[in-house]
Amino acid sequence: MKALLAIAMLALPVNPASTGPEAARAGSSARFVFAWRGVPVGTVGLSLDAGRFTYTSRHLHVRDGHAGERVREVALKVDASGRVTGADAVPQALWLWRGPPPEGCVKGREELSGQEGPHCVTARSPTSAEGTMLGARFRARYDEKGQLQALEVGDSRFTLAAPGERLRAPPELFAEGVPVEGGSEGALRLVPGGTVPTRLPEMTEWTPTEARALSAKVHAAFPDKGPSAADWRAGGEGEAGGCLAHALRYASLARGRGQRVGLVHGLLVVDGGPARPHAWVRVALRGGGTLDLDPTSLDPVRPDTHLVLALVPPEGPALEAGARWLSLLRGDLRVVRATRTE
């Protein structure tokens, strides 16, 4: 990997940090919602004032089955060009925040780890930038004023929160759930509605018997149904885990059998309460049709209890799911019963 990074540095010209017309200026600040594989798990705050750049991370932290919040903050003195005072590196987030960086490479510093290395832009427009940071590919999107709106890096996505927008701190992002309008009976739906595909192209066909048998196996593999680090592992490994761990474990075991399933990000309503975040799987059936399975509870997936937000590949970044979760957090989407007239 280091050799590849060295080649990248030689292949592209070295440029100073970005200083676009609407770059981040002294006294400015911004906050971004951080989503991992489509699930909002925290926020990142950036501020620049009097030569001091501050990076604050607040994210969900699960330990011994208990969900809490982990806060990490780094403050760096920077010069007018955006570089760390007394060093030749520019803070990673500041490099992107100041507007689309020019094509070429700079020496960047990852704020929390302190790791330094090449940060390169290989394609740029007034509203976008693509390249690599420490070898990881990124894609950044800006508005017409050059203000950073969204950043995608691997399975992570950072989306700008509007000034004054009220967001709960993790793990309280959805602590109160989402209100359900229209009574306690009838199919659930989103207003305004949206289109979610019935199946993904990569999903392979299976039989209901085999699919249900695997669901029961995954359910039994988790004696503890509480949140744990397994919810953030690609294969849901562990003996304790919430709904995401169950769904990821199901997908991983299915892949081992040569089958591909879809991961459903959605909402669950129990006993007339609010809608709460949930995850389950969708299987394509031989002869047509699909089957949704909830390995966490083994309860039937019904339209009056389960509401689909997005259907995504289990191993992907789930960007569509992340966008919908953010819309729920902002109140742009409402959950209603089909019996309610809009």
DSSP state letters, 273-287: --EEEEEEEEEEETT
For the stretch 290-302, pLDDT in tens is 999 999 999 999 9
Residue 26's pLDDT is 52
Cα radius of gyration (the chain): 22
pLDDT tier, 23 (very low <50, low <70, confident <90, very high otherwise): very low
In contact, 208 and 291? CB cutoff 8 Å:
yes
Q: Alpha helices, DSSP H only, in the chain?
A: 2-11, 92-97, 208-221, 243-256, 319-330
pTM of the predicted structure, to 2 decimals:
0.62
Give the tens place of pLDDT for each residue, 212-251.
999 999 999 888 766 655 555 666 566 667 888 899 999 9
Q: What topology is assigned to 180-337 in CATH?
A: Beta Polymerase; domain 2 (3.30.460)
Which pLDDT tens digit goes with each residue over 166-192?
555 444 455 677 889 987 788 999 988
Q: What is the dihedral of CA 284, 290, 294, 295, to 10 degrees?
A: -30
Distances, alpha carbon 169 to alpha carbons 57, 67, 174, 254, in Å:
11, 12, 9, 35
